[in-house]
Structure 1
Amino acid sequence: MASGDTLQAVVDSLAERVGLSVLIEDASFRALSWSAQTDVDDVRLHSILRRGVTPAALDAVERLGLARADGPVRVPAVPQAGMEQRWCVPLRAGEDLVGYLWVLDPHGHAGTDAVLALAAAAERAVGVIFASTPPEDDDRRLRDLLRRLERGRDEEAGRSLTVLARLPDDVLVVVDEYPRRGGWPLTCGLTAYPVEPGHWSATSGAPLPLTELHEAVRRARLTLQALRAGALLARPSWDHLRAWRLVVEAPSDLTPPEIHPGVDGLRGQRTSDLLITARTFLDLGGDVQAAASVLHLHRTTLYYRLDRIKAVTGVDLRGGPDRHDLDFALRLTAFREAADPPSS
């Protein structure tokens, strides 16, 4: 790279030499620098004026495998994308893709000398980008894209993130409670991980497409809320919620007393002894011996509490037909009370 070289100098020099319109984009298809545009198509206009790439043009780039090319590639016209014939040179710093150099050539004028000039200009451009783009810029871009994907489905953010992180187009993600090497910290305090198909489930359950990151976050947060509510799971994962799925997916306007009014009677007691006894006894399937052991009670005391629960709620936990309704109401109450505190 020549001293004082800039991307604008690179594109202007190349445009003058080959007599064609030149554009340089970063790896996320944001226009960085361009020459005077003697030839312009819809894709070039979109890139310069809107600082992005159209979905149809991106499909063409992915279909032709341009990100994996190791030299100048003649890109055929794609009329349905408003894309004229052009040349593309991926810009690489070692193994890292840092951008693309594009030369519009709608009439096929570029010969061997022009192609050699493209390769030389690409090498200059890589030097400029590598020298002027600190690593923290990529980190900031990564955080921005993750925030967008946390908020909801975002195809453009998903495509940009796969390019930035050099991931396959069909990459899957999971969200976990604990940070591990190679993860992406999220604003909610959880960590996302790109994984291969067949990866074991995490807190969020089985892997989901990258564009469904917001759903993986939702599943992980609900799973952790169920665990705080006392859910006894085979593994701390969405895929192991079993009947708790009915609790965590319950409509927000459904209240526990609507399922069984006895829940208010237990919650209104002076102490939580009866509430804890009911939850424990039901969680253990009505096993008196196991419940007495867990609660550190004599059986006589446990029977006394079960009778008190029946008097308060009208439900016989040892065999009453509506004990399952009370069980669900108690679980939903605990789940709602275990919600994340509002952020300050």
Structure 2
Amino acid sequence: MGTGDTLQAVVDELAQRLDLSVLIEDASQWALCWSAQTDVDDVRLQSILRRGLTRAAEEMIDRFGLRQAQGPVHVPAVPEAKMAPRWCVPLRVDGQLVGWLWVLDPRERIEEADVPDLAAAAERAVRVIAAGSMPEDEDRQLRDVVGRLERGPDAEAARRLTVLARLSDDICVVVEGQSRLGGWRLSGGLTAYPVEAGYEGATSGQPLPLVELREAARRARLTLQALRAGALPARPSWDCLHAWRLVAEAPAELDPAEIHPGVAALRRQKTRDLLTTARTFLDLGGDVQGTAEALHLHRTTLYYRLDRIHDLTGVDLRNSPARPDLDLALRLVAFRDAATP
């Protein structure tokens, strides 16, 4: 093995020698590198194009005793799984399984005289792996699978992440708005952390199964948006948003004016003074003194503004039964205004 040897060189040279398609996977059957592919079957396409496993590929390992094999094994075709014949050589470092070398042989061209070439290529791959010359470092693989999970539920990516991060199969995930040590970086400055069930206080709320990382990230983003909109929960967590969750989950097509038309009149004003006064007064439960202090207003000015709000919206914020409707409409306006570009 030369100092510049790589797994890619192993598969390319074996493929050229045999004129067949070659692939190397790690122990969890994650495709690491492959040669040019010709005459591929569904199992190989799934492994390369989708970086995932078919049930046939998983069952094949046990069905043909490949985990226990010590040398090249011929794997016959499995027509019902659209799987062509192939050869497999388990890769072991100090007796521990670290990967697999696969040679797709749809026309059964490999003969007994070719088997030593398979074994030699496998030994060379083992030396590369033992030397640490993997084609992708673990950080890159982690970023890949985390990115897949952030885009949507992906059971194979979740399984792969537990392998890479050495986590238990039942691990959960939360997403925080502020980063701390460890974790996986997400878009928008969020960070995901593996946690046990029952963890409390995360921005995204209660832990979710790892496969639901996207939903945890969505909840964290909505929580942060609600905080920017003026929500004052007991803790900055999805679990503590309470009524604000109705606002956060409101359908995009819902116009705040449909909840109460008075909000449109307030938004048409040249300044946001009346809008801010209405929000503050309602947030403080109609406390005149508290609102005046929060807005640094004289009480006379506050009363004047409350009267103007009444004139424009038809709602007396001090005692009108329509206050909850206007309050909800105002919260929805604030929430949407707080959306990041």
- In 2, Cα distance between the equivalents of 1:255 and 1:282? 20
Structure 1 271/190 Cα, relative in aligned 2: closer, same or farther at 3 Å? same
Q: What is aligned with 1:169?
A: 169
Q: What is aligned with 1:131?
A: 132
Q: What is aligned with 1:205?
A: 205
Q: Secondary structure at the match of 2:174?
A: strand
Following superposition, the deviation at residue 45 of structure 1 comes to 5.7
- In 2, Cα distance between the equivalents of 1:3 and 1:273? 71
Q: Is the 8 A contact 1:265 1:312 kept in 2?
A: yes
Residue identity matched to 1:30: A
Structure 1 residues 132-171: aligned runs within 5 Å: 132-133=133-134, 137-171=137-171
Q: What is aligned with 1:178?
A: 178
Q: Secondary structure at the match of 2:188?
A: coil
Higher mean alpha-carbon deviation, 293-302 vs 278-287, is at 293-302
Alpha carbon RMSD of aligned pairs, Å? 4.4
- In 1, Cα distance between the equivalents of 2:255 and 2:288? 29
Q: What is aligned with 2:74?
A: none
Residue identity matched to 1:274: L
1:312 and 2:308 are equivalent in the alignment: no
Following superposition, the deviation at residue 220 of structure 1 comes to 0.9
Structure 1 227/33 Cα, relative in aligned 2: closer, same or farther at 3 Å? closer
- In 2, Cα distance between the equivalents of 1:222 and 1:32? 39
Q: What is aligned with 1:226?
A: 226
Following superposition, the deviation at residue 302 of structure 1 comes to 2.0
Q: Is the 8 A contact 1:176 1:192 kept in 2?
A: yes
Structure 1 residues 185-196: aligned runs within 5 Å: 185-196=185-196
Per-residue CA deviations over 1:180-236 (Å, capped at 9, x if unaligned) read: 111111123211111122222311111111211111111111111111111111111
Q: What is aligned with 2:331?
A: 331
- In 1, Cα distance between the equivalents of 2:178 and 2:283? 27
Gaps of 5+ in 1: 14-21, 35-41, 73-78, 104-117
Following superposition, the deviation at residue 5 of structure 1 comes to 7.2
Residue identity matched to 1:216: A
Following superposition, the deviation at residue 324 of structure 1 comes to 0.7
Q: Is the 8 A contact 1:92 1:99 kept in 2?
A: no
Following superposition, the deviation at residue 297 of structure 1 comes to 2.4
Identity %: 61
Q: Is the 8 A contact 1:256 1:332 kept in 2?
A: yes
Q: Using structure 2 for the length normalisation, give the TM-score.
A: 0.72
Q: Secondary structure at the match of 1:147?
A: helix
Residue identity matched to 2:53: T
Per-residue CA deviations over 1:219-273 (Å, capped at 9, x if unaligned) read: 1111111111111111111111100011011111110111111112212223222
Q: What is aligned with 1:54?
A: 53
- In 1, Cα distance between the equivalents of 2:60 and 2:177? 36
Q: Is the 8 A contact 2:6 2:134 kept in 1?
A: no
Residue identity matched to 2:134: T
Q: Secondary structure at the match of 2:206?
A: coil
- In 2, Cα distance between the equivalents of 1:61 and 1:218? 38
Structure 1 residues 1-344: aligned runs within 5 Å: 24-26=24-26, 27-30=28-31, 32=33, 54-56=53-55, 91=92, 99-100=99-100, 125-129=125-129, 130-133=131-134, 137-341=137-341
Q: Is the 8 A contact 2:172 2:194 kept in 1?
A: yes
Structure 1 193/239 Cα, relative in aligned 2: closer, same or farther at 3 Å? same
Q: Is the 8 A contact 2:29 2:53 kept in 1?
A: no
Q: Is the 8 A contact 1:175 1:216 kept in 2?
A: yes
Per-residue CA deviations over 1:48-94 (Å, capped at 9, x if unaligned) read: 77685534257669999x9xx9997xxxxxx998999x999675699
Higher mean alpha-carbon deviation, 217-226 vs 138-147, is at 138-147
Q: Secondary structure at the match of 2:173?
A: strand
- In 1, Cα distance between the equivalents of 2:191 and 2:313? 42
Q: Is the 8 A contact 2:277 2:305 kept in 1?
A: yes
- In 2, Cα distance between the equivalents of 1:333 and 1:191? 28
Q: Secondary structure at the match of 1:194?
A: strand
Per-residue CA deviations over 1:281-318 (Å, capped at 9, x if unaligned) read: 10011122222222222333322221121111110111
Q: Secondary structure at the match of 1:175?
A: strand
- In 1, Cα distance between the equivalents of 2:141 and 2:241? 35
Per-residue CA deviations over 1:85-139 (Å, capped at 9, x if unaligned) read: x9996756999x8535789xxxxxxxxxxxxxx9x9988744312432266x332
Q: Is the 8 A contact 2:91 2:126 kept in 1?
A: no
Q: Secondary structure at the match of 2:187?
A: coil
Structure 1 3/188 Cα, relative in aligned 2: closer, same or farther at 3 Å? closer
* Pairs aligned (count): 314
Gaps of 5+ in 2: 15-21, 36-40, 71-77, 104-118
